[in-house]
Amino acid sequence: MDYHRRNLATGMYQKNADGSLTTFKGAVVGLPQGETLIPTYWHGQERDIPTAVRLAMKSGIKFPSYKTPEAAMAREQTIHKLMEKDIADFQKTKR
């Protein structure tokens, strides 16, 4: 969530054709600490998985890890709903 909120606050989001904003695109990858949800959207661009993993590791940010890919995806769905609410609130203040 911090990654998403930082992108929102700094304007590092993608404006989509439908008027929506994208602050986070991600993937679940198997890392030593477990199935980890990492961003694939870095510095205003979507990155391939190997590049996203390198950027995530280099960032020093502790991204959430889970025991199974299914648990990671379930949590991603919950986080996604929270991000949608943040974006809706943000867009209301920009009008």
How would DSSP label each residue in 29-42? EEETTEEEEEESEE
Q: Assess if residue 82 is contained within a domain.
A: yes
Residue-averaged pLDDT of the chain: 92
Q: Assess if residue 72 is contained within a domain.
A: yes
Instruction: Please tell me the predicted confidence (pLDDT) of residue 45.
Output: 87
Give the global pTM: 0.79
Distance CA 33, CA 35 (A): 7
- Residue 67: give the domain boundaries: 2-90
Query: pLDDT for 44-87, tens place per residue?
Result: 889 999 999 999 999 999 898 999 999 999 999 999 999 999 99
Q: Is pLDDT at 95 greater than 80 in this prediction?
A: no
Instruction: Please tell me the predicted confidence (pLDDT) of residue 43.
Output: 86
What are the structure tokens assigned to 57, written together?
């590791």
Q: Assess if residue 95 is contained within a domain.
A: no
> What do you get for the CA distance between the two ends of the chain, in Å?
24
16 against 44, higher pLDDT: 16
Q: How many domains does the chain have?
A: 1
Q: Assess if residue 77 is contained within a domain.
A: yes
Which residues lie across from 38 on neighbouring strands? 27
Q: Assess if residue 15 is contained within a domain.
A: yes
